[in-house]
Amino acid sequence: MLAVRALAKRYAGPANRAVLEGVDLDLASGEYVAIMGESGAGKSTLLNLIAGLDRPDAGSVAVGGTDLAALDDDALTLLRRERMGFVFQAFHVLPYLTVAQNVGLPLRLLRVGDRDAGARVQAMLDAVGLGERAGAMPRELSGGEVQRVAIARALVHRPMLVLADEPTGNLDPDSAAAVLALLRDQVKARAAAGILVTHSLAAAGTADRILVLSRGGLRERGA
Amino acid sequence: MTATASDAVAVLRGALAQNRARALVAVLAIALGVALGLAVQLINQSAVNELAQGVRTIAGDADLSVRGPRGGFDEQVFAALARDPEVAVASPVVEADVRVAGRADPLRVLGIDLFRAAAIQPGLFPEGGERYDALRPDTIFLSNAARAWLGLDRGGTLVLQPGLREVPLRVAGTVPGAGGQRLAVMDIAGAQVAFDRLGRVSRVDLRVAPGADVGRVRQRIAATLPPGVDVDRPQASLRATESVSRSYRVNLFVLALVALFTGGLLVFTTQALSVVRRRPQLALLRVLGVTRGRLAALVALEGALIGAAGGVLGLAAGYAIARVAVGVVGADLGSGFFRGVEPAIAVDPATLAVFLALAVAAAVAGSVAPAREAARAAPAAALRAGDEESALARLRAPWRGLAVIAAGALLAWLPPVGGLPLAGYGAIAALLVGTLLLMPWLSVALLARLPPPRSAPAALALAQLRGAPGQVTVSLAAIVASVSLMVSMAIMVTSFRTSLDAWLGRVLPADVYLRVPLADTGALSEAEQGRLAALPGVARAEFLREEQLLLDPARPRVVVIARPLPDGEAEAKLPLVAPAAARATRAPPSLWVNEAMVDLYGFVPGRTVTLPLAGREAAFVVAGVWRDYGRPQGAVQLDRGVYVALTGDRSVTNAALWLAPGADADAVRAAARAALPGGERLDVARSGEIRRLSLAAFDRTFAITYALEFASMAIGLVGLSSAFGALVLARRREFGVLRHLGMTRAQVARMLATEGVTTAAIGVGAGLALGAAISVILIHVVNRQSFHWGMDVAVPWLQLAAFAAVVVALATLTAVASGRQAMGADVVRAVKEDW
Amino acid sequence: MRRRAFLAVPLALAAARAGADGGYPQVLPGATLAFPRDHGSHPAYRTEWWYVTGRVHAAGGRELGVQVTFFRNRPNVAEDSPSAFAPRQLVFAHAAIADPVLGRLRHDQRASRAMFGLAGAREETTHAWIGDWSFALEGATYRARVPTRGFALDLAFEAVQPLLLQGVAGYSRKGPLPRQASWYYSRPQLAVRGSVDVDGRRSTVEGRAWLDHEWSSEVMAADAVGWDWIGVNLDDGGALMAFRMRDRAGGALWAGGAQRAADGTTRIFDPADVLFVPGRRWTSPRTGYAYPVEFGVRAGDAEYEVRPLMDDQELDSSASTGTVYWEGAVRLRGGGRTIGHGYLELTGYGSTLRI
């Protein structure tokens, strides 16, 4: 599903620091991994490269067999639209759209018909426990609820790959646990591959396996 | 930690620095408004000061001035006044604006009795002559301004051209007391002869005897004066002179205030957006212990700083503009009202202070709503993301806006105040403010009615606009204001020009027109009329006598036009506003009045009125009202047969010639000039030329108006652009999310373009509607009350459509450009800017 | 108000320069004056005046000098103008009160062209007026009415003695050329009765006065700068007039005069008979001009001393005739005692009487 090979990225600047040096990562459908690392270890860089939002200096990323290097910006955007879902640390839902509209946004971009989209959005909201709040505006929701909207949006179009970047960073421990469980369940339920980037060992514990990013390379925790 | 005011100031200063570009735009907008307002004010003030100086020079220390028709009144009136025991000094003056050989502008020449003028009008005292020069009929004394203008010094010869004659005069000296006035002084006896005024004087200035009560003397004297001659304090003639141009000056001033108002709206936009953007910061300040009042004061203070900066900049620019404008276009700003006045721009601190205060007030007023908003927000809610819109939700109730609009509609029905359409201006301001208050509600209503778009970007754009109508409104305020004013001016000017053009067609039916230049110094005799009528190529000739009568000493003289106008023909010859009233048999002769006579003197159709003709009151019935774009001071027309019967005066000042088929207009013009002694000095023009010149003068007059309008339009666009820029910048994270979700750059750009088009369309639409409403007030209230002429509404559809399209296009481009700027490579990282 | 010289001329008195303008009749000997016609004005001549000066006493015994003058001037411009305002004839008037208590002159002046009957000078007999100022002969009595802002004179001057024709039957020569002359007669010892209003207080007055009526076209020789003149009513009923025309150096260009004894015997003086010896000078604080306010005068074989009633009798008439001169009440002393009262006139001590 996801094949990352010898991925390298350095940032220009006086230090000319190598952030990633020869990262390899394979992920099968239904597989859910956590990536940990210290601040500045390159976790976000890795996620951006996998999402096609940034270009590597060396190595390759293939999603569902498609090599990202071969795609231009628009094609990458299409790829993201169809095959990926994102959950961010901050509650990045659009404030002027209702819960249902926010969740339906990916379907809308994929031109799914209104009726079909409506059913899928409602099913998705039911799945994340917000079936009753479809018409609410984001500002009426609690932090945990907003993040559940984000998870619903990340999964509603059945992406192959879900990328979650510290999705519980802004939540209290109880909400965090619920959101993490929900994320894991939904990724699994839809047979997607999932990557959870986190600081928290407790959060990472919800994943199938834990990888650690340090000194440019990716290793199994404890390996 | 304790939060002090200086901490708060530091935070705000940081924000202001962040907002530097927008703050700068607001400063410039305020500066532009102040500059234009101050420039107009300074130029007018200087011109009016010069006029006042002129009146002071001419009337001197007189307690009372006796004035009458432009052509003067019986000199025996002077003799009687001079004998009056309560009159200490009576100084007779013969006054004429006389053409000077080789000059376009006339020269004001005052014929005085220096023995009497010396006691009252020291400013007119001639100096530098040889013995008796000041008494000779063939000498003249020039003020410094006139000397510089004519390039003549002592010993030179000044050739005056009164009527069709030519009078050479020796320049014998100067009039040092006349200051900057362009005038010349000669002996009254010489002036009577030179200007064909034997037996008549133009004015008599009086000093009452010590101990006599000026008001009582005035009343007593007024009762003894013949019809058409009146006595008033000299200031009245200043008011009369000044009133001719006052409406024009007030109009310009109001336009300049509009620019300032637009600047205030920009401050509002800037501050509202900046408050919205800084909600978390401001909330933090509240949490740290800054009181509500202090927070509001700080935001208002920011506004005041913007206003003060703009004000100071504007004062400097205004002064510079005034200096340059007076040098280039003249003190009348192209209106032709202050010919012959060369004012020096004088700045008094009070005026500067007022404009600085206006600037600060406009900016603070623009900051009030945002400041209150900043203070009102509950800190906890404000700290949460996604709360921006609630800050502006308050602006959304329609009732205040509707109430203000209703008040404006009522104001439009009120009469003028002191001859000025103040209520009309109030109505326009109310419509403007009311519409701006209504805009949030209107935006919501309009957006709700838009059909759901198919494409995702468009749907997102609409959702964004629907979700944030407050922000839409804030960015629209300036554009609605400037579009509406531009549109209203365009409609008004087009209506005016169309009506003027049609009117010129009506009033210029003949082929060739002749006029004795500056007709108060000469006229055509009956023999000369006969010679003109008999010219080869002339099929028909019509002669016209023009005179100016004083009906009210506090108003300018009224023009009397006597021409062949027998009952029955008048309707065909005059551009009547309404059908003529039915005539009773044995009624006094018919008088046809222009609209100004109705407004100023109450000469309504059917009324019996009197005119002081040839020193006697003559009765007339007002038979109808004709449209007149030439004489806002008032004009009447009557049949020349009636005029001759009443006055015995068969001379004329103008002639209209109809050509025989095949006759050449230029040949007739040359023949007319050759037919009369001094005929080369006749003004002769074909009707087409007059029409062209009139329209050119019209366009010149409105050039400055358009310049002011464009300035405020530019401010509006800049305001829109800066508002978009701010909003787009604030939405960078949103764009990042959308990119993550799979929106292409092009889709994001389309979304922004849709927002831009929609916003601009709402603004321009509202502006068009408001502008149309304002134009109705301009045409039927402001113009009517200012200039006393009506016009038919003509809408420049094509021009307006093009204008609207251009504004929408510019607004859209602005939106997209702002988006492009905000959509740099970093946008994907913007999703993480939060922490 | 700023004062200005009206005609940029000057005193009509001195207005006639040799050969300056043509068009005026010359004053030449041989003609005979005829009265009352010659009491009236002579509009063809350039300049004419009726000049009355007198010494009066108010009820309390207070001594005042009074002066009333009407000038007529023909500028000889615009004479053919059809305008009623044409300045064919100009009329000026001065009035002054010399009051030793005040220490300077009370003075007012008027100027007008003759027009609309508002100002003029009749030809039939003495009658000149400007507005409500007038000077007229009715029977044997002259009447002066001069209401001004600061004071008012209403005086009757009764002629109790015959006319005194100056020069040769009224032909009074003023310079080396025969045409530099005036027609000139005087009326000494006029009996004055009337009222003087000063500062709102009216006083009945009585006294003696002297009238000069003089008309000319050219009185000043080319190199004359001014003149000194006295006209004195002698206490014994006699009269003395003497004058000299001065040149730039202060010497006499011409001189003349007349003395009539109480019994009526009259002697006319030749230039050689008259000598003016200037004495003490007084400098005006206003103009800075220095006037010899005391004189030794020899007329024929008699010698007199002229002493002013007060020093400051400078008369600023720049707002009408255009000159500043000294015109003041004086006492005439002879043989160590006061023998008469009259007026001293000093012109041309400031700027040269440009003329």
Question: Is residue B598 included in any domain, yes or no?
Answer: yes
My answer on whether B131 and B215 are in the same domain is yes
Residue B455 has a CB neighbour count (10 Å cut-off) of: 15
Question: Is residue C28 included in any domain, yes or no?
Answer: no
Q: How far apart are CA C205 and CA C227, in angstroms?
A: 31
Average model confidence (pLDDT) for chain C?
A: 88
Distances (CA, A) of B160 to B98, B342, B835, C221: 7, 21, 86, 40
Question: Is residue B196 included in any domain, yes or no?
Answer: yes
Best of B91, B135, B195 to substitute, by most chain C Cβ atoms within 10 angstroms, is: B135
Average pLDDT over residues B173-180: 85
My answer on whether B213 and B275 are in the same domain is no
Q: What is the total count of domains within chain C?
A: 1
If one compares C241 and A131, the residue with the highest pLDDT of the two is: C241
- In chain B, the residue whose alpha carbon lies closest to the alpha carbon of C73 is B132
Average pLDDT over residues B231-260: 75
Are A90 and B832 within 8 A, CB to CB?
A: yes
CB B579 within 8 A of CB B630: no
- pLDDT at position B344 is 67
User: In B, residues 566-585, which contact C (CB 8 Å cutoff)?
Assistant: none
- In chain A, the residue whose alpha carbon lies closest to the alpha carbon of B827 is A53
Angle, helix B469-507 to helix B687-730, in steps of 10 degrees: 180
Tokens of C261: 């004894």
Question: Is residue C6 included in any domain, yes or no?
Answer: no
- pLDDT at position C12 is 36
Q: What is the total count of domains within chain B?
A: 3
Are C85 and B188 within 8 A, CB to CB?
A: yes
Residues of B in contact with A109 (CB under 8 A): 456, 741-743, 747
- pLDDT at position B189 is 96
My answer on whether B171 and B149 are in the same domain is yes
Q: Confirm or reject CATH 3.40.50.300 for domain A2-220, answering yes or no.
A: yes
Chains near B, with 3+ CB pairs < 8 A? A, C
Q: Which domain holds residue B631?
A: 517-681
Residue finishing a domain among B181, B204, B232:
B232
Whether C298 has a pLDDT exceeding 90, the answer reads: yes
Segment B775-804, tens digit of pLDDT: 999 888 888 888 888 888 899 999 899 989
- pLDDT at position B736 is 82
Asked whether A and C share 3 or more beta-carbon pairs under 8 angstroms, the answer is no
Whether C21 has a pLDDT exceeding 60, the answer reads: no
* Bond into B137 cis (ω within 30): no
Q: Shortest Cα distance from B834 to chain A (angstroms)?
A: 7
My answer on whether B99 and B22 are in the same domain is no
Question: Is residue B547 included in any domain, yes or no?
Answer: yes
- pLDDT at position C355 is 35
Segment A107-163, tens digit of pLDDT: 888 888 888 889 999 988 988 888 899 988 888 888 888 888 988 898 888 898 999
Angle, helix B234-277 to helix B279-287, in steps of 10 degrees: 80
Q: How far apart are CA C349 and CA A211, in angstroms?
A: 124
Q: Which domain holds residue C219?
A: 12-18+34-346
Best of B727, B738, B741, B758 to substitute, by most chain A Cβ atoms within 10 angstroms, is: B741
- pLDDT at position C4 is 38
Closest partner residue to C85 (CB to CB) among B119, B133, B192 is B192
> Which residues of A make CB contacts under 8 Å with B?
44, 48, 51, 53-54, 73-74, 77-78, 80-82, 84, 86, 88-97, 101, 105-106, 108-111, 138-139, 153, 165, 169
Q: How far apart are CA B782 and CA B15, in angstroms?
A: 43
Tokens of B20: 């530097």
Residues of A in contact with B468 (CB under 8 A): 96
Residues of A in contact with B733 (CB under 8 A): 90, 92
- In chain B, the residue whose alpha carbon lies closest to the alpha carbon of C85 is B189
Average pLDDT over residues C37-51: 95
Establish, for the pair of chains B and C, how many residue pairs have beta carbons separated by less than 8 Å.
Answer: 88
Segment B324-379, tens digit of pLDDT: 877 766 555 544 444 555 556 777 888 889 899 988 988 888 888 778 777 766 55
Average pLDDT over residues C259-287: 93
The beta strand positions in C42-174, using DSSP E, are 47-58, 63-73, 90-99, 104-113, 119-121, 127-130, 133-138, 141-147, 151-158, 164-165, 171-173
Q: CB-based contacts of B694: which residues, under 8 Å, 6+ apart? A: B500, B504
Q: How far apart are CA C105 and CA C97, in angstroms?
A: 6
Average pLDDT over residues A38-61: 85
By the CB < 8 Å criterion, does B86 face chain C?
no
CB B520 within 8 A of CB B196: no
Residue C39's domain is classified under what CATH number?
Answer: 2.40.370.10
Residue finishing a domain among B172, B205, B232:
B232
- pLDDT at position B744 is 83
Distances (CA, A) of B211 to B61, B117, C131: 16, 21, 18
My answer on whether B126 and B163 are in the same domain is yes
Are A139 and B741 within 8 A, CB to CB?
A: no
Average pLDDT over residues C4-9: 39
Average pLDDT over residues B617-631: 90
Closest partner residue to B132 (CB to CB) among C7, C83, C117 is C7
Average pLDDT over residues B657-684: 87
- pLDDT at position B331 is 54
Phi, psi of B151 (to 5 degrees): 65, 30
Chains near A, with 3+ CB pairs < 8 A? B
> A14 pLDDT band (50/70/90 cuts)?
low
The beta strand positions in B614-734, using DSSP E, are 616-626, 635-639, 654-659, 683-686
Are C7 and B131 within 8 A, CB to CB?
A: yes
Tokens of B770: 């408001």
Tokens of B749: 């750009």
Question: Is residue C353 included in any domain, yes or no?
Answer: no
Question: Is residue C327 included in any domain, yes or no?
Answer: yes
Q: Tell how many helices (H) and how many strands (E) occur in chain C.
A: 0, 25
- pLDDT at position C11 is 37
Are A91 and B739 within 8 A, CB to CB?
A: no
- pLDDT at position B225 is 94
If one compares B772 and A127, the residue with the highest pLDDT of the two is: B772
CB B483 within 8 A of CB B763: yes
Q: Shortest Cα distance from C237 to chain B (angstroms)?
A: 41
Residues of B in contact with C8 (CB under 8 A): 127, 129-134
Q: Shortest Cα distance from B652 to chain C (angstroms)?
A: 23
Closest CA to B605 of B640, B563, B631, B570: B570
Segment B398-422, tens digit of pLDDT: 888 899 999 999 998 888 887 788 8
Q: How far apart are CA B57 and CA B143, in angstroms?
A: 11
- pLDDT at position C15 is 39
Average model confidence (pLDDT) for chain B?
A: 83
- pLDDT at position B18 is 58
CB A185 within 8 A of CB A207: no
Longest pairwise C-alpha distance within chain C: 61
If one compares B302 and B701, the residue with the highest pLDDT of the two is: B302
Question: Is residue C354 included in any domain, yes or no?
Answer: no
By the CB < 8 Å criterion, does B211 face chain C?
no
Report if pTM > 0.95: no
Closest partner residue to B189 (CB to CB) among C1, C87, C118 is C87
Segment C178-227, tens digit of pLDDT: 889 999 999 999 999 999 998 888 999 999 999 999 999 987 878 888 99
Average pLDDT over residues B650-658: 90
By the CB < 8 Å criterion, does B72 face chain C?
no
Give the pairing of strands C295-299 and B558-563: unpaired
Whether B587 has a pLDDT exceeding 60, the answer reads: yes
Whether B162 has a pLDDT exceeding 70, the answer reads: yes
Residue given tokens 């009102």 in the structure block: B376
Segment B542-577, tens digit of pLDDT: 999 988 898 988 888 899 999 998 888 888 888 888
Q: Tell how many helices (H) and how many strands (E) occur in chain A.
A: 7, 10
Residues of B in contact with C6 (CB under 8 A): 114-115, 118, 134
Q: How far apart are CA C190 and CA C51, in angstroms?
A: 13
My answer on whether B197 and B68 are in the same domain is yes
Closest partner residue to C112 (CB to CB) among B76, B115, B189 is B115
My answer on whether B173 and B37 are in the same domain is no
My answer on whether B226 and B257 are in the same domain is no
Whether B312 has a pLDDT exceeding 90, the answer reads: yes
Closest partner residue to B135 (CB to CB) among C87, C116, C117 is C87
Segment B718-748, tens digit of pLDDT: 777 777 777 777 777 788 888 888 888 888 8
My answer on whether B127 and B196 are in the same domain is yes
Q: Shortest Cα distance from B727 to chain A (angstroms)?
A: 14
Closest CA to B299 of B313, B289, B312, B285: B285
Establish, for the pair of chains A and B, how many residue pairs have beta carbons separated by less than 8 Å.
Answer: 94
Whether C2 has a pLDDT exceeding 70, the answer reads: no
Whether B281 has a pLDDT exceeding 70, the answer reads: yes
Whether B169 has a pLDDT exceeding 90, the answer reads: yes
Average pLDDT over residues C172-183: 90
Average pLDDT over residues C101-108: 89
